[in-house]
Structure 1
Amino acid sequence: MLARLGGRYKVVVLVASITLFFLFPPFRILFLETHRFLRHTNAFPSHIDYLRAKLTFTKTPLSDSIYQVQNETLGFEEIYLISLPERTDKQDAFAIQAAFSNISYTLVDGVHGDEVSTKALPHTMSQKATIIGCWRAHLNIYQKMVHENVSTALIFEDDADWDVALKHQLVQFARASRFIGGIEDDHVASSPYGDDWDVLWLGHCGTWVLPDDEHRFFVIPHDPTVQPPRLREENVAEPNMSHWRTGHDNGDQTRVVFRSEGAVCTAAYAISQKGARKALYSLSMIPYNAPVDWGIANLCKSKQYDFTCISSWPQLIGVSRPTSHIAKWSDVERGTDFEDEIREGGSHHLMYSVRQNIPEWLNGKTIFRSSHSDVGPPLPIDDIGKATGYAETLTSEQMGSYM
């Protein structure tokens, strides 16, 4: 008798659940959202302190979407790595860096410029072969995105390096991008970085603020991942940071994110579907003659097609160089002369480089060292990525001579 009642009870519960699911939309939405939330939180890598990261801004019922930046593709639909097929040394290094950070990516072959048919070039193109090869490799990705309708992609070059706390840093960058695009933290956008952007310039060697009547900045003070000014090297240009020269560190470890007039170098940047379409047309289908980074920068500066670029200064992603002949360092700028003396390698633009901390990771350590020990002490990832930002809007009058 009891067994029969138990079976009947289970049937009644099942029927009631199905009825609620199909007849009451609020219940169905709650069920589906709960399922998505559980699936989303389970996707986070174990070394990211999800609960700590949530404390970086006021939580709202819809704000969890911003934490997609901590998944295996950093909140983008795809991540692509450009590398010449023969540069297996760089691919080895990138693979282990990505494993450390639990990043998933697709390898895309780089292009030898002398193998690009003259017929395939804009008729005005007059660049050396290495520049043409780099240009074509990036355009191949834009073409792939447009053809496959990829919504957003992060593009790495194979010498890219980043801080061990990158996923913590990207929570703040996503907040910044949404603020600059006029999206609140609690708004569910198609991308955790917001909807109103074409390019997010995360890794560069110089950037400019876009002149405007109103300047939106997202300011991240006291950031352990920011190199002090005296250590910032190999940058073509940089914003004037005088406005933020305050506090106990004189603003030396302050990062700002802003609407950008462009940047130089393409160690890492994200591009949206609409950005890929605009770039593919502008850098290939009409008269064009420039390296790929200058082509993108010109779109940012001219505001043609409402091309929206957002930059971080200092940059979030840098480059690494192995200890070797300098011919190994770049496939664009360096030749093949291996008669030069061996140069000491290192990572540029970074404090707590993934590349330089590979030995710590392989030895199971959870405290990571800075490339500049006189400025940055050894720290765990949570402390390295602890900085929290705030929004600030300045008028042209307030800006004065700062930019």
Structure 2
Amino acid sequence: MLFPWPARLNFVVVGVVVALILFYTSFHAPTPTWQDVVEFPAATPAASNTKPATKSSYLDDSIYQVQNETLGFQEIYMISLPARTDKQDAFAMQAAFSDISYTQVDGVYGHEVPPKALPHTMDQSGNVIGCWRAHMNVYQHMVHDQVSTALIFEDDADWDVAIKQQLVQFARGSRFIMNTTENATPHSPYGDDWDVLWIGHCGTWVLPDDNRRFFVIPDDPTTELPQFRHDNVDQPKMTPWEKGPNGGNHTRIVFHSEGGVCTAGYAISQKGARKALYHMSMVPYNSPIDWGLAGLCKNKEYNFTCISPWPQLVGVSRPTANTAKWSDIGYGPDEGRQVEAGQSLHLVYPMRQNIPNLLQGKEIFDSRYPDISPPRSIAEIGSAVGHVEILEPEDVPEVG
């Protein structure tokens, strides 16, 4: 039986509305997970021994770009010798669970670099030459392809499970150090005009010319305690933040850096890559890659600008194995080495050591120091919030 015309018309209208609703919901974004969203609370007040800082755009929403698959950089590269498939396996797992996308770049065997291709005065071991050339190849590629910024990992790099939350705070600090003003729209979420962001090192120093301005992140669960930092080459004095009635050992700082040692993970800009390629390949040069970058930071050649966190954000993973397996740079003969348990240096909740938890779908993660830092969730591990401090001259810590 046919419906009267008005009833039929109502039926058609209802049908069209239902169809439109179903069509819309089929394209609705899924519910975000902890990897997609990070709560960004307001900055805490500066400490009482500081002066107010110039208003800065470190609260700008573009800072959330550090949570994307390339951590806010145009590219991520991971350097690995082709034969080290074991390290490539581990890095792939770490990156997958961190939702990080990267391009693998072949490492270089130093003995394959012809003497004519070396800078004048270069006199280093084959392993050091190979490492140097691999990083030069990345810089050359960046310059050729106009890559604006890149994060460079070595294949044994590791990081805490809350790396994206940590980088939000580091980016706020980097913007402050780079004097990113409120009305500016930086091309990089880390601010503009930096050359190197040295987030993975084994020692770093504050630049004496800018030794009063810091971005301070207190109560950070990912900060390794002072008694476990002894194997770093050197470190800033933490007296203003670790001593006194309000001091705490779980404090990380971000600052204008005089350089660093080791290159487990660092970012470099297009202009930084050009400066580094010239300084370490086109003129007389004779140092490992990290000391070359450190020299540029320290001497401010070509206005080279570096920013570091302390303690570091990227560490180094060591598998359970004969210690000769750990490094391709070489620290003495392999004979006489012994098997040691796996560990992740300078991290508290390392991704590498928590892979079994991630494979099981757990949401609570283990620390390297269970007696000090209990198992925690991602939200708890990445909960620290930083603030600006400008020290009074009498409060500036001694260098070294």
Does 1:77 pair with 2:74?
A: yes
- The Cα of 1:186 is off from its aligned counterpart by 6.6
Give 1:23-172 correspondences, 5 Å limit: 46-48=33-35, 50=37, 52-57=38-43, 63-172=60-169
Question: What aligned pairs does 1:213-228 form with structure 2 within 5 A after superposition?
Answer: 215-228=212-225
Give the superposition deviation at 1:53. Answer: 2.2
Counterparts in 2 of 1:387 and 1:145: CA distance versus 1, 3 Å: same
* 1:324 and 2:321 matched: yes
Moved more, 337-346 or 383-392: 337-346
Letter of the 2:387 counterpart: Y
CA distance in 1, matches of 2:196, 2:398: 27
| Aligned pairs (5 A) from 1:4-403 | 46-48=33-35, 50=37, 52-57=38-43, 63-184=60-181, 187-212=184-209, 215-246=212-243, 250-334=247-331, 337=334, 340-399=337-396, 401=398
Name 1:32's counterpart in structure 2: none
Partner of 2:20 in structure 1?
Answer: none
Letter in 2 for 1:206: G
Give the distance between the partners of 2:192 and 2:324, measured in 1 at CA. 40
1:78-100, Cα deviation, whole Å (9 max, x unpaired)? 00000000000000000000001
Q: Are the counterparts in 1 of residues 202 and 232 from structure 2 also a CA contact under 8 Å?
A: yes
Q: Aligned partners of 1:234, 1:214: CA distance in 2, in Å?
A: 24
Q: Is the contact made by 1:174 and 1:194 (CA closer than 8 Å) also made in structure 2?
A: yes
Q: What is the TM-score of this pair, normalised by structure 2? A: 0.86
SS of 2:355's partner is: helix
Rate the CA distance shift 1:363–1:56 in 2: closer, same or farther, 3 A: farther
Taking the aligned partners of 1:90 and 1:185, their CA distance within structure 2 comes to 43
Post-superposition shift, 1:394? Answer: 2.4
Deviates more, 1:223-232 or 1:211-220: 211-220
Alpha-carbon RMSD: 2.7
Deviation at 1:71, TM superposition (A): 0.3
What do residues 63-89 of structure 1 show as CA deviations (whole Å, max 9, x unaligned)? Answer: 221000000000000000000000000
- Tell me, in whole angstroms, the C-alpha distance in 2 between the residues paired with 1:122 and 1:224: 44
How many residues in Structure 1 have an aligned counterpart in Structure 2? 368
Residue 393 of structure 1 and its aligned partner are, at CA, apart by: 1.4
Segments of 5+ residues of structure 2 without an aligned counterpart are 13-28, 45-55
Equivalent pair of 1:222/1:249 in contact (CA under 8 Å): no
Q: Distance in 1 between matches of 2:69 and 2:30?
A: 8
- SS of the residue aligned with 1:53? coil
Letter in 1 for 2:226: P
How far is the alpha carbon of 1:251 from its aligned partner?
Answer: 1.9
Contact 1:76 1:152 in 2 (8 A): yes
Kept after mapping to 2: 8 A contact 1:159/1:267: yes
Fraction of identical pairs, as percent: 62
Matched residues in 2 for 1:396 and 1:275: separation? 31
Instruction: Output the CA distance in 1 between the equivalents of 2:226 and 2:345.
Output: 13
Instruction: Give the superposition deviation at 1:188.
Output: 2.1
Tell me how far apart the structure 2 counterparts of residues 68 and 345 of structure 1 sit (CA, whole Å): 33
State the shift of 1:43 in Å.
Answer: 11
- Shift in alpha-carbon separation, 1:44–1:343, aligned structure 2, 3 A: farther
The amino acid of 1:274's aligned partner reads: K
Question: How far did residue 334 of structure 1 move?
Answer: 3.9
Structure 1 residue 232 displacement after superposition? 1.6
In structure 2, distance between residues paired with 1:111 and 1:386: 40
CA distance in structure 2 between the aligned counterparts of 1:222 and 1:164, rounded to whole angstroms: 17
Q: Which has the higher contact order (CA 8 A, sep 6+)?
A: 2
Contact 2:297 2:306 in 1 (8 A): yes
